[in-house]
Every structure is written in structure tokens, then in C-alpha cells.
Structure 1
Amino acid sequence: MNLIDKFHNWRRRLRWNKQYRKGRWDNLRNPIEAERYNTIINYIKTHAKSEPSILDLGAGEGVLNEYINAENFSYFLGMDFSDVSIQKAKAKNFPKAEFVTADIHTYTPSQKFDVIIFNEAFYYVHDSEKQNVLDRMLAHLTDEGILIVSIYREGTGCWEYFDKMKQLDFTTVKTNEEKTYWKIGAYKQ
């Protein structure tokens, strides 16, 4: 990223921290989101090994942890750009889960994972860095691991990065609100 992109990235972090402080992202717990989270969990149950290790990129306050049963995974690491959201997630003391604040553009996991989830996060990756971020995460996916991608609406400029991977599953989670839907895919290298 060039200097201007880094500046905008810094401003985005400040904005997200402010929004998390004010409760702007509390809507992620609305029932309208439940099917999206349940689809991610079903992909894990269907396509991952039993009790996988999970890396949730874009974990926010740990909403996925509110849906997933801790008996269904061995270890969960949630990563988000907002330190305010991560502090809220840590305060919930989810079993077998840790949370870290990091910038997805530079974050390198310290271990390999059986499941890596781009949880409404890939479209925030700067265009010049999308392939680099994807390659870095794939390098930290176990040999039989799966990648799950959840993107709000169309995700223009995102899906083509996953075309080279083997698609295991793909669906559009629709709601009663015309413009509120998510596309979710599960992939293997």
C-alpha cells in the first residue's frame, strides 16, 4: 500500500473503534444475521475435520462465537482491526477462544488452522493487497483445511480471487429485505 492508502487505513481503524464504542455494530446480533452465521457453522461441520482449529478474520466482538458450540472446535482465534471490538470479545471469556487486534494487510498467523474464515472482511482488503493477504492466509491453512468466505451482497472485486480454488459449497443467504443478502462460499486449496 502506498502512503495515502495507509493513511486511509489508519482513519478506518479510528472510525471502527468509534463505531464499536457507540454500539453501531450491535446489529450483527439481529436475527437477520443468524442464517449467515449458521451457514458458516454448517460449512465447518460439513467440510472441515471434526473439532477443527478456526481462525476468524473480521471477528469483531466475537458474534460467531455466540452461535458456535465450543464442543465443535479445538481452538478459536478471532482477529479484528478494531481494538475496541476485540476488547469486547475478550471480556466475554469464550471457552477455547482467544482474540487479537491486527491489521489484515500485515497479519501473519503464528500457526496453521483447519478453518480460516474471511468473515465480512475480504472486501475491506485494499485491492493492491488482496492476493498477498489471500496467499498469506492460505499458507497458514492445514493441508486438508478449508477457507470460508462471507461477503455482504455482491462483493465486487472479491470473488475472482477464489476462482483458482476448489469450491466445496456456495450459497446466497437471502432475507426479507431486498438489498440485505450475503454470498458465502467454502473452498479447498
Structure 2
Amino acid sequence: MNTLDKFHNWRRKLRWDKQYAKGRWDSMKTSKELSRYSTIIGYLTILGKENPSILDLGSGEGVLNEKLPAHYMYNYFLGIDFSKVSIEKAKAKEFPNAEFQCKDIHTFTPERKFDVIIFNEVFYYVHEKERVKVLEKMIDHLEDDGIIISSIYREAPHLWELFNQRLEKINFVTVRTEEELRYWQIGVYCKKGSENNDEPAS
């Protein structure tokens, strides 16, 4: 990113911190988001490994953790978010085997590989010039038999094309709600040549 792009990125961070502090994103915990989180959790349960390591990009204050069923187990969970305020809220909840870090997805490099990597309503915030770099970096930190789950609000074919070019699609669904304009597209992908390729795509 050039200097101007970095400045706008910094301003966005400040805005999100203010919004989280004021409760602007409390809606993520309401029933309006339930169908989206339920779909992600369904993919984790059905297509993910047992007791996986999970990287949640755009974790916010740990809403995904809160919605995971009590019987679902992971061996390690790392939540990453741009907002320091949201990360502090997530840390305060003291989820077992979970860690939360305030990081910029543009510069964040995982220190290990993960069984599941989730782009949790975050990929469209990645600067256009950095999207390929960010996606390829996460693919490099995905276990060979792991999966990537991406949730994107409404429709963004230009973003999905980046996933389709570099990964093998396992499943894809549009999650709708009672509100006509509130819906998401959620895709599950694996590395090309992975054993997960045997899963049916839709």
C-alpha cells in the first residue's frame, strides 16, 4: 500500500475502535447473524478435522467462540482483528485454548499452520492491491488437509474469483434471512490436490 492507502487504513482502525467501544457491532451477537454463524459452524463440524487448530481472521470480540456448541472442541484458536477494543473484549471472556491478537491482516503473518482458516467478513476490507498477497500467505499457512472458510456479505464475484483461481472449492452457499438485503455467501475451499477434493461442491 502507498502512503495514502496506509493513512486510510489507519483511519479505519480508529473508526472501528470507536464503534466497538460504543457497542456499534453488538449486532454481531444477535439473531440477525445466527444463520451465518450456524453455517460456518456447520462447515467446521462436517468438513473440518476433529479437534482442529483454527485461525479466525476478523474475529471481533470472539462471537464465533461464543456460538460454538459446548461439545465442539478445538486444540487451539487464534482470533485476529484490526480493532484493539474488540480484541480486549475477546480476551476478557477467557475462552479455553484461545488467544486473541490485534493485528492488521495486511501485515500479519501466522507463526504456524492451521487446520482451518476463516475469513470472517474481512476479505473485502483487504486493500485491492494486497488481496492476492494476503490470500496466498494464508494458503501457505494452511495444513495440506485443511480448509479455508470465507464469509462475504451479499455478493462479490471479483473476490470469489481469487479463491476459485488459487484453491479447490468444496462447497458454496448463499445464506439468506428474512431481510431481503441481509444475506451472505459462504464458501469452503481446500488446497488443490488435497484429499478434501473428494467432498462435493455446490
TM range (shorter): over 0.9
Structure 1 spans left out of the alignment, 5+ residues = none
Superposition map of 1:37-186 within 5 A: 37-69=37-69, 71-164=72-165, 165-186=167-188
| Stretch of structure 1 that moved more, 160-169 or 124-133 | 160-169
Residue 157 of structure 1 deviates from its aligned partner by 3.1
84-93 or 42-51, which deviates more: 42-51
- Taking the TM superposition and a 5 Å limit, the aligned residue runs for 1:5-24 are 5-24=5-24
Q: CA deviation at 1:46?
A: 1.3
Deviation at 1:69, TM superposition (A): 3.6
Moved more, 54-63 or 32-41: 32-41
Give the superposition deviation at 1:156.
Answer: 4.9
Rounded to whole Å, the distance in 1 between the matches of 2:117 and 2:42 is 14
Cα distance in 2 between the residues matched to 1:110 and 1:102: 13
Identity %: 60
| Distance in 2 separating the partners of 1:15 and 1:158 | 24
**Aligned-pair CA distance for 1:74:** 1.1
Q: Structure 2 length normalisation: TM-score?
A: 0.91
1:95, CA displacement in angstroms?
Answer: 1.0
Single out whichever of 151-160 and 37-46 deviates more from structure 2: 151-160
* Cα separation, 1, equivalents of 2:156 and 2:110: 25
Deviations 1:126-158 (A, max 9, x none): 000000000111110001010000001113531
What TM-score, normalized to structure 1?
0.97
Once residues 150 and 53 of structure 2 are traced to their aligned partners in structure 1, the CA distance between those partners, rounded to angstroms, is: 16
| SS in structure 2 of the partner of residue 23 of structure 1 | coil
Partners of 1:186 and 1:72 in 2: how far apart?
20
The list of structure 1 runs, each at least 4 consecutive aligned residues, that deviate by more than 3 angstroms after superposition, is none
Give the corresponding residue for 1:30: 30
Structure 2: segments with no counterpart, 5+ residues? 192-202
Deviation of 1:73 after TM superposition, in Å, equals 1.1
